[in-house]
């Protein structure tokens, strides 16, 4: 189990760095988690020598219980769980298919939402997974609060309504998926949709969904391409070896 946990710590730390490299977080804000079992999760915690999400180390990923206690002896020595742990706990508890949760602060998504722009499938083959995600709609949790208790966490999950990503107004996003990689890739896609939407609006254009007839020729290319290949690229962007 220890070796498996260590591998997961490496992956979550790597995902934190990918998120920062993509501009989805800045400074020390934002955190990722992965479910270990029905009682435990690994989550990025903070320490007194924390230098930011972009510099996350595997040792910053700590094993805790769902109620925020150390998951093993010494796990929280010198570390503090995020104030917004309820985001992760309530999202994981809401759907057993959720194995990973990323809470991030992408400026383009926050700006687009505050500008009244709904994230919609405005393009197709440019990013098929992103278009498919947006086709179902990206819901908004309309409170700009720090989600630091279970009641607020449940409110956010209710707003999420089963969608993979929810925008937290004036705050950021929460992305949930069956893997750490997918949770981050979803966030990248939503951020790109927001960024492109802002650019179209700034150029004086009108945002429109792609034609309904186009969907038949926007196939699911499979996880080997949309997740595995995409993740290798994200890791390569960091300039670090791909962790197996």
**Annotated active-site residue in 75, 84, 118, 192:** 84
User: Residue 52: is it exposed, middle or buried by C-beta count within 10 angstroms (0-12/13-18/19+)?
Assistant: middle
Positive or negative CA dihedral for 229, 234, 240, 244?
negative
Give the integer Cα–Cα distance in Å for 30 and 105.
Answer: 6
90 among known catalytic residues: no
Q: Is the distance from CB of 147 to CB of 84 less than 8 angstroms? A: yes
Strand segments, DSSP code E, in the chain are 31-35, 40-44, 46-47, 61-65, 79-80, 100-104, 140-141, 165-168, 172-177
Q: Which tokens sit at 109?
A: 């998504």
Exposure of 157 in the CB half-sphere (CA atoms within 13 A)? 19
Give the integer Cα–Cα distance in Å for 126 and 121.
Answer: 10
Positions marked active-site: 84
């Amino acid at each position: 189990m220890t070796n498996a946990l260590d591998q997961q710590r490496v992956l979550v730390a790597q995902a934190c760095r990918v998120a920062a490299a993509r501009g989805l977080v800045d400074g020390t804000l934002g955190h990722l988690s992965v479910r270990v079992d029905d009682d435990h999760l690994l989550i990025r915690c903070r320490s007194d020598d924390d230098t930011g999400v972009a510099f996350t180390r595997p040792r910053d990923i700590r094993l805790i219980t769902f109620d925020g206690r150390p998951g093993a002896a010494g796990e929280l020595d010198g570390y503090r769980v995020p104030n917004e742990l309820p985001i992760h706990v309530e999202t994981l508890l809401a759907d057993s298919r959720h194995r990973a949760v990323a809470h991030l602060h992408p400026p383009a998504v926050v700006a687009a939402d505050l500008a009244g722009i709904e994230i919609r499938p405005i393009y197709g083959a440019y990013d098929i997974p992103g278009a498919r995600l947006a086709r179902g709609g990206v819901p908004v949790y309309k409170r700009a609060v720090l989600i630091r208790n279970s009641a607020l966490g449940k409110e956010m999950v209710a707003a999420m309504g089963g969608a993979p990503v929810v925008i937290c107004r004036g705050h950021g996003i929460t992305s949930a998926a069956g893997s750490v990689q997918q949770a981050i890739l979803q966030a990248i896609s939503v951020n790109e949709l927001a960024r492109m939407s802002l650019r179209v609006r700034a150029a004086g254009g009108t945002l429109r969904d792609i034609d309904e007839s186009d969907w038949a020729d926007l196939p699911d290319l499979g996880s080997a391409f949309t997740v595995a290949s995409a993740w290798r690229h994200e890791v390569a962007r960091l300039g670090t070896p791909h962790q197996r």
